[in-house]
Chains A and B, each alone.
Chain A
């Protein structure tokens, strides 16, 4: 009984699938899919040779601190970093004292309540505080950015495909809309208040180019603050905020692999030894 029923069920599924295929093919011929500007002009991120790439990769502390400086002086005006505490910044080479100073001098204070009246208030941050967000809430953020919401950057390097390269590419990818795009897709002209960037998913984003001129941030370690350099540095910093345990992961991984290789060689020898007289 199983086989005749199975045969009929099989014919049923195959029939409906081929019927779907036929209609799909007819629709495809009648109305071929229209290419979209996003499909034709979107670009994959440029490859950057970061120090943390590869299984032996480590962060460059100097670069992370420069990137943090770019975040602090440029990005932090609009973007929060809500998963990172000031104390965490010891991970990029600041001393405990320095994180204390950074916390207490941060441009935005930490929200709290007035101890006596219970009214909303603010206070200076301490190292245990998370980095305060530039806007009190989403509505305030949208109101301050012509309706667009600047995303939190804590995880951005993992929340985008090829994130570290993406951040760098986006920051350096602003350009005028190609004439060819406008010729092919006259309806896709970048709207008012938007900026063309082929690395952004739909090609037009609300954020104006944030890094525009050399020397926008003055580095204290002598590195030349070109737009390219600042973009690389902040991309590295945001990779650290997304994956602060990366170095730990790499070094643990190497130790684990070394152990497992020896373990596996020993088990292979045990296996060969036990089976030496048995053909199989």
Chain B
């Protein structure tokens, strides 16, 4: 579906007409990310991050495929094959640093993309399916990133794999058989490394597939916008191309500058030094920590320290998975008809509190498991669950939202302070 005023694909060249008849791929692209997709005219820079996440995925796929040509997934040689890439493969150091830091950049833009969705209520009807598919992508990304971190077979790779697969060991009765089955042994070894490599190569293509579904689902209602008000007519939208391709091009430039600064001048900033020590099952690192993008969830996992009916470890595992799974129910937990946080004064206060809360959880997740970090993460984790499961449903019931603008165009014009001379009704240039 699209808006009736969307520009129509009309190939002029005979070859393109022939193509359109036999395989309308250019038409598909035109309608998906070309002039045939009308987009609200008032999107701010937070709407850049979807395209940037796509760019990050492409960078990971390209660098990853080339790295796989030089990497060997065998416990005896994996570590050295990575060093071979760093030392002997032409520009191998750049490929590997791009892939390792590319994962961090991917998570940064995806977190900002989720932030946008949470603040502007992009998860609400009619875009629930877009939100759900996005969460599936997020889960797949986490699995892919975790398995990718195991591949260099350094100390953190090994012990991270041991701790994370150990989580399944917390499941009553069947936990240990499941853990052994997942690893192909009693501890991470060749069988685990090989299957992780296989899945690490497979899952990005699954992600790519779900990304296509995510965009497909988005194109049915069309993009949301900062006011959260529905598109009412042609004056509210602009064609995706050239308006947003130009804006996304600029966003891409800024993204790449930050990425390049990290890659070329601080490539190990976000990594852990212990992963430059080859995996050693007999020597446990002082602090086992995952990559930074897992820290908030790791803090939730470790916040449960006391047995209460169930063992503390099981509580931690259930809560960690629940902290992500509850996001799948968000469209039905938040019943407020107003989408954008800009018009929801009470929601907005708690929203920023949640952002601070997640930052605190992240800090505690990266810190050693000792006081005061454990107590702080208990309070922060309690707020996290309370925010989504208790506070949001109550707010959506009692809040009095601010008056909404009648239309996107009205919001745009009142912001620019002029009420006349607008080119909105003029023919599109």
The chain A residues found within 8 Å of chain B, CB to CB, are 2-3, 6-7, 9-11, 13-14, 16-21, 23-25, 28, 33, 55, 83, 88, 151, 154-155, 158-161, 163, 201, 242, 244-245, 248-250, 252-254, 256-257, 260-261, 263-264, 267-268, 270-271, 273-275, 277-280
Contact = CB atoms under 8 A, between A and B. Distances in A.
B276 A158 contact: yes
A10 B254 contact: no
Interface in B182-230: none
B287 to A, nearest CB: 11
A18 B274 contact: no
Contacts of A270: 246, 249-250
B264 A23 contact: no
Q: Is the interface of A mostly helix, strand, loop or mixed?
A: helix
Contacts of A275: 243, 246-247
A274 B93 CA distance: 39
B260 A260 contact: yes
Interface of B: 41-43, 80, 83, 86-87, 93-94, 97, 238, 242-243, 246-247, 249-250, 252-254, 256-257, 260-261, 263-265, 267-268, 273-274, 276-277, 286, 303-306, 308, 312, 315, 319, 322, 326, 329, 332-333, 335, 370-371, 374-375, 378-379, 381-382, 385-386, 388-390, 393, 412-413, 416, 418, 422-424, 426, 429
B34 to A, nearest CB: 14
A202 to B, nearest CB: 9
A25 B412 contact: no
Contact of A257 (B42, B246, B260): B260
A279 B389 contact: no
A170 to B, nearest CB: 14
B385 A249 contact: no
B257 A261 contact: yes
A273 B370 CA distance: 55
A11 B390 contact: yes
A6 B246 contact: no
Q: Which of B43, B80, B322, B389: most chain A CB closer than 10 A? A: B389
A33 B246 contact: no
Contact of A83 (B87, B243, B253, B322): B87
Contact of A280 (B83, B250, B412, B418): B412
A17 B246 contact: no
Contacts of B263: 253
B57 to A, nearest CB: 20
A85 to B, nearest CB: 9
Q: Which of A14, A21, A252: most chain B CB closer than 10 A? A: A21
A238 B429 CA distance: 61
A268 B412 contact: no
Contact of A21 (B315, B322, B375): B375
A249 B265 CA distance: 8
B253 A13 contact: no
B277 A159 contact: yes
A33 B273 contact: no
Contacts of A260: 253, 256-257, 260
